[in-house]
Structure 1
Amino acid sequence: MFDSILKLWAEAPLAILIPAGLIVLLVLRRLPIVGPVVNLAVWLAIGAGLYFALDQRARLDPYLGSIAGLFDKQEVVGRELRIRMAPDGHFWANVRFGGIERRMLVDSGATFTAISSATAGEAGLAVRQEPFPLLIRTANGTIAAQSSEIGEMRLGNIVARDLAVVVSPAFGETNVIGMNFLSRLQSWRVEGRTLVLVPHHPQGAG
């Protein structure tokens, strides 16, 4: 009997499951002991859902990216810049260059720092229109890119000058910090859910 009920519940369409679930929640919220716990769980679920939705959308929208960046934990501790892992399992750094600020993905698997064409335009980067574009392998296949250079890039207590970057519209609005930046550091490592960057010459936190 119980197995039959579970089978019917599993096969029921969302049009039935959602109203049924709401009715169960309303009943549980009225119980004197269980009610407060259910209320807390509901609000936590709503908050988590909104955060994840914002975080995913922020990858494609620079304006939402700046809002999502407010929730990132990036702090200077002594000589180190410590970046906490985001809910999506990646490390995102708040970076400034060319008079703009961007939330950039730190990716040790990327050879070069990669900037979207839109970001390069807003930062006033001089993109070299070479006759033979660079061919870069990404998770989505091989794309064509041009080269440029960031005069000064700041994140926390780290300053990188004359940093070579690749630029392509194929990057969408995703900007990536690659190994050509990380290799300039004295060291970098991952401690649990925290990325630790140690510069050779720490600067005033930006």
Structure 2
Amino acid sequence: MKFAYLALLLAAVGGWVVVQNRKRLGQMAQQAAVWVLIFVGVLAGIGLWDDVRRTVVPSQAVLQGGTITVPRAPDGHYYLTVQVNDAPLRFMVDTGASDIVLTQADAKKVGIQLDQLVYSSRALSANGEVGIAPVVLETVTLGPVRREGIRAVVNAGEMHQSLLGMRYLQQFSKIEIGDGALLLTP
């Protein structure tokens, strides 16, 4: 019944358009063809969106045996989604960082009170010297690996991405980079 109503409505609107543009039928047919192509293009984009998203923003996966595979992102870095205090955070793997380094925004997401932090240490970063505040994360879960009481720092400077440093990565028995992927074996 709904289909019949839509067909009748389309016929009425289409008939009105044809009557109004009867002197320009060729131009009207071109415009109709353009709109049909736009509609088909939008439908194709919606249908292929998951494939496009996986190509543009690759995601990590846990393989049989618990090995975590992380495809290299288009910018050449490796990004992991890690559960910190039961909140998902996106980290960039940084083998040049010693610790887990949280942005202030990510620290707030995991329940750290920013106004109570004491930036008692300094660190050298790509942006120069910055203040850092030591914190302890209640839980950090990456795939099948769950750890409690993990030390981290909150960066006082401007950062766009939290960093996953070597002290955390060394908890894995094997770290491999090859064929465009990072493999972490528990």
* Bin for the TM-score computed over the shorter chain: 0.5 to 0.7
Contact 1:152–1:162 (8 Å) recurs in 2 = yes
Contact 2:137–2:148 (8 Å) recurs in 1 = yes
Which of 106, 109, 112 matches 1:119? Answer: 106
Matches within 5 A, 1:179-194: 179-194=166-181
Quote the residue 1:104 is aligned against.
91
Which ranges of structure 1 fall in alignment gaps of 5 or more residues?
1-42, 52-67, 200-206
Contact 2:91–2:161 (8 Å) recurs in 1 = yes
What is the SS of the residue equivalent to 2:167? helix
Q: Tell which deviates more after alignment, 153-162 or 176-185.
A: 153-162
Report the Cα distance in structure 1 between the residues aligned to 2:156 and 2:129, rounded to whole angstroms.
Answer: 13
CA deviations 1:18-57 (Å, max 9, x no partner) are xxxxxxxxxxxxxxxxxxxxxxxxx9xxx9xx98xxxxxx
Contact 2:131–2:156 (8 Å) recurs in 1 = no
Which of 59, 74, 77 matches 2:60? Answer: 74
| Inter-CA distance 126–180: structure 2 relative to 1 (3 Å threshold) | farther
Report the Cα distance in structure 2 between the residues aligned to 1:171 and 1:148, rounded to whole angstroms.
Answer: 18
Contact 2:79–2:92 (8 Å) recurs in 1 = yes
Contact 2:86–2:139 (8 Å) recurs in 1 = no
1:197 shift after superposition: 0.4
1:171 shift after superposition: 4.1
Matches within 5 A, 1:32-71: 71=57
Quote the residue 2:78 is aligned against.
91
Moved over 6 A (4+): none
Report the Cα distance in structure 1 between the residues aligned to 2:108 and 2:75, rounded to whole angstroms.
Answer: 28
Quote the residue 1:28 is aligned against.
none
Contact 1:185–1:197 (8 Å) recurs in 2 = yes
Sequence identity percentage:
22
Contact 2:59–2:71 (8 Å) recurs in 1 = yes
RMSD of aligned alpha carbons:
2.6
1:126 shift after superposition: 5.7
Contact 2:130–2:156 (8 Å) recurs in 1 = no
Report the Cα distance in structure 2 between the residues aligned to 1:160 and 1:85, rounded to whole angstroms.
Answer: 25
1:180 shift after superposition: 0.9
Quote the residue 1:64 is aligned against.
none
Quote the residue 2:30 is aligned against.
none
Which ranges of structure 2 fall in alignment gaps of 5 or more residues?
1-44
Which of 148, 159, 165 matches 1:161? Answer: 148
Report the Cα distance in structure 2 between the residues aligned to 1:160 and 1:171, rounded to whole angstroms.
Answer: 28
Contact 1:133–1:144 (8 Å) recurs in 2 = yes
Larger-Rg structure: 2
Quote the residue 2:157 is aligned against.
170
| Inter-CA distance 87–98: structure 2 relative to 1 (3 Å threshold) | same
Report the Cα distance in structure 2 between the residues aligned to 1:173 and 1:101, rounded to whole angstroms.
Answer: 16
Contact 2:176–2:184 (8 Å) recurs in 1 = yes
1:167 shift after superposition: 0.3
**Alignment TM-score, normalising by the size of structure 1:** 0.58
Quote the residue 1:33 is aligned against.
none
